[in-house]
Structures are given as structure tokens and as C-alpha cells.
Structure 1
Amino acid sequence: MPNFNNLTILLVEDDQDDVELMQDALQDNGVNFTMDIVRQGDKVLPYLKSCKKFPNIILLDLNLPKMHGREVLSRIKLSEEFKHIPVAILTTSSSQSEKEFCLSAGATDFLTKPSTVEGFNKTIESIVKIAQQAQTQKS
């Protein structure tokens, strides 16, 4: 597992089980992280506007209350202030058209939520890699 010194994550997810699975998988993989959780799509931009330090990565579910993840992604990527933050879509959808939309709207990656521990480990590896690449590009 690549090393990342205190990965800061914004997890946009309304399902508490998925939140806990993500936290457990990060811990099990030895990732040093802090995570903030936003449970509604319409709360993401206000959250980002109030941040003192932006997250290294945003993990964004698509099926969210109040505002769909596609709309959240579009708003983040249209914002001069936030468009540099990598956004990985983390969803149960495996739809090719959904994936194409998200990637063309600026998502860094499109990850289908895993159903196995092994799958979660691979997902964590992808998340850390995306954050590291973004960090390298910034410096």
C-alpha cells in the first residue's frame, strides 16, 4: 500500500454502513487518514466553502438525498475554487453511460462499490493513488 501522510478525505455518502466499511477498509490497509462525512448532495459546496484546508480527495456517491451526485460533481468541477480537488465516484452503479458522464464531467475515477474485502482493498489502493498523484501535481 502506498504511504500517504494523513490523507484527508471528504466522503459524500448517505449510507452509514458504507461509511463504516470505508473507514474500516482504510484502517485495515494502514492508511493514516482523517475523514469528514457529508450525507446530502446539497451540503457539499457549503462544506467546501467553510473548509480551512481542502480534502486531498472527495469520494462521491451518486444516489444522494437533496441533490444527485452528478449535479454535485458538475458544480465542483465548474467552480474555480474547487475544481482542482480530485473527485472519485464511489457508487453501486456499474452503468457505462453513468461512468462516461462522470468522467467527462471531470471525475478522476469511477469506482463501483466493492462487495468483498479484497475489492475494498483495491478500492483503497486506487483512492490513495489518486490523492498522491494530485499532491504530486500540486507541488
Structure 2
Amino acid sequence: MFAKPTNVNMRNKLRILLIEDDMIEVMKLNRTIGSSQLPHEVIEAKKGEEALDFLRSDAKLPDIILLDLNMPKMNGIKFLETLKNDETLKYLPTIILTTSANQKDILACYKVGIAGYVIKPLKYEDYVIKLKCLLDYWSLNELIKG
């Protein structure tokens, strides 16, 4: 009844911009990608201003952005507002990756226009499962190529 897929490995290699000031979290994401043998490329920015400089440079744009909310100076929501007001950058899928389960934060992020909100689990095994699902989902999406 159903046609078998001719190419089971139809996932796209993602170019991911990770905006995270906690080096342990950066290492966790890189370790998850490496141990899961995912082909994705991770670009790291420690703060919102650094990420905006990268996005506005001549560098190739990322496919998705993973954004922490709790950062010094420019927090995640302020970064989102700046991103979504930029005609070139506003369409980049941005997923919040944070420890905050605060409903006010979640609502504020969706109002600005995020693509998803993921709460970082405490257990590493749960983190790996969540991140692998998240990256699998986005690697199957049709993304804007810049």
C-alpha cells in the first residue's frame, strides 16, 4: 500500500548557530552531535551581540538558531526582538533552548515569533534524546537557503 522510501537518509546537514554563554552547555550540544554521529555544523556565539555580528557579516547564514534565554547584557528575548525586526534575518528558524519553564518567558518568545521552545532536561540522557529529536525534525524540514 505504501511506497517504500528510496532514500532513507533524506536528512539535510544543518548549519546551526548556538547562542549560549555556558561552556558546559556548548560542550553538551557538541558531544550530543558527535556521539549521535550527526553531520551538523555548529557555529558558537557566547552572547547575543556576537551572534548578531556573525549574522550580519558576509558569512553563510545558519539553517537554524538555538538560543539560550539567560545571557548577560542582551538576553534571549531582546536578541529575538532584534532578529525579528531585521528584514534579512527574521525568517531564520529560532528555537529556544533554556532551563526556564516560566510561562511568561514561553509566551514572550512565541509572541516574538520563535519556531520552538525546548527546556533543557537535567539528566544528560534525556538531553541527548530531546536534542536528537529536535535536530532530526529540523533536518527533515525544507529550509531557506541563503
Which category describes the TM-score, using the shorter chain as reference length?
0.7 to 0.9
1:111 pairs with 2:118: yes
Q: C-alpha distance in 1, partners of 2:64/2:85? A: 17
What displacement does 1:108 show? 0.4
1:25 pairs with 2:32: yes
Moved more, 116-125 or 29-38: 116-125
Q: Which runs of 5+ in 2 are unaligned?
A: 1-8
Alignment root-mean-square deviation, CA: 1.8
> Residue 94 of structure 1 contacts residue 112 of structure 1 at CA under 8 Å; is this kept in 2?
yes
> Residue 13 of structure 2 contacts residue 139 of structure 2 at CA under 8 Å; is this kept in 1?
no
In the superposition, the TM-score normalised over structure 2's length comes to: 0.84
Q: C-alpha distance in 2, partners of 1:128/1:75? A: 28
Q: Which runs of 5+ in 1 are unaligned?
A: none
Moved more, 95-104 or 121-130: 121-130
Question: Which of 78, 82, 103 is the aligned partner of 2:85?
Answer: 78
What displacement does 1:61 show? 0.4
Tell which structure's C-alpha radius of gyration is larger.
2
In the superposition, the TM-score normalised over structure 1's length comes to: 0.88
Q: C-alpha distance in 2, partners of 1:131/1:102? A: 22
Identity %: 31
Residue of structure 2 equivalent to 1:11: 18
> Residue 114 of structure 1 contacts residue 120 of structure 1 at CA under 8 Å; is this kept in 2?
no
Q: Which has the higher helix share?
A: 1
Question: Which of 34, 42, 46 is the aligned partner of 1:39?
Answer: 46
Moved more, 46-55 or 71-80: 46-55
